[in-house]
């Protein structure tokens, strides 16, 4: 991950006033996968980042979201503090902690999109001097507006820790997230809706 992207993910450029929104570039569901009922099950929340503070913030937000949805969210840093350990070791530690599955998020891209709305000259009636004089000074022109949007791409993966299999995957784009926890919550919410629509999450 680039130094610029690292700064962005901790909020240096993500602190924007515009409302955020998440759309999916792609989704994938493992063929033949039965609906999953997450309520009451322990699910590991994993946010991939070389920056420890980012990892903790992302996993705390994701674990809280999972818990709010009825699962028992488990931030992986509390069980596997060093993300560089072997994958089989990490999986076994999470399983030993009771985790049935894992939701993994990773920021895979960031773009800025600039849009310009041109201004216009406002017509003013010139039939009477008094009205023309009063209106022309105040309504000569409406200035154009320049808007910059920050778009963050996130990869989301859902694994079964019992079988080690990938169950669902997506790549999404979120526009103008307020900060990293807000980004994680929004992507998690959008992913949950998409998984429910695709029949991966059991109907509630």
What is the tens place of the pLDDT at every residue in 52-82? 999 999 999 999 999 999 999 999 999 999 9
Say which CATH topology domain 3-113+150-197 has: Rossmann fold (3.40.50)
Residue 76 tokens, joined? 């992986």
Q: Parallel, antiparallel, or unpaired: how do β-strands 166-175 and 21-29 relate? A: antiparallel
- Angle value at C-alpha 26, between 23 and 27, nearest 5 degrees: 100
pLDDT tens-digit profile of 86-105?
Answer: 999 999 999 999 999 999 99
Give residue 15's pLDDT.
36
d(CA 81, CA 59): 12
Residue 20 has pLDDT above 80, yes or no: no
* Rg value, the chain, Cα: 23
Q: Helices 180-197 & 52-68, crossing angle to 10 degrees?
A: 40
The burial class, CB within 10 Å (0-12 / 13-18 / 19+), for 160 is middle
pTM of this structure: 0.78
The domain limits of the chain are 3-113+150-197
What is the mean predicted confidence (pLDDT) over 170-190?
96
């Amino acid at each position: 991950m680039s130094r610029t992207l690292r700064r962005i993910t901790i909020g240096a450029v993500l602190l924007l006033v515009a409302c955020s929104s998440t759309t999916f570039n792609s989704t994938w569901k493992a063929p033949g996968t039965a609906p999953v009922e997450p309520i009451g099950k322990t699910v590991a929340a994993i946010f991939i980042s070389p920056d420890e503070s980012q990892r903790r913030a992302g996993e705390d937000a994701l674990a809280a979201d999972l818990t709010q949805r009825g699962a028992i969210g488990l931030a992986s840093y509390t069980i596997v503090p060093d993300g560089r350990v072997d994958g089989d070791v990490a999986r076994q530690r999470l399983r030993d902690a009771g985790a049935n599955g894992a939701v993994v998020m990773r920021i895979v891209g960031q773009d800025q999109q600039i849009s310009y709305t041109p201004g216009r000259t406002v017509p003013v009636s010139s039939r009477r001097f008094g009205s023309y004089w009063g209106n022309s000074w105040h309504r000569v022109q409406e200035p154009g507006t320049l808007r910059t949007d920050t778009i963050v791409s996130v990869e989301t993966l859902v694994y079964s820790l019992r079988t080690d299999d990938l169950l669902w995957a997506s790549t999404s784009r979120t526009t103008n997230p307020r900060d990293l926890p807000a980004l994680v919550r929004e992507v998690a919410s959008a992913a949950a809706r998409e998984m429910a629509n695709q029949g991966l999450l059991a109907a509630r």
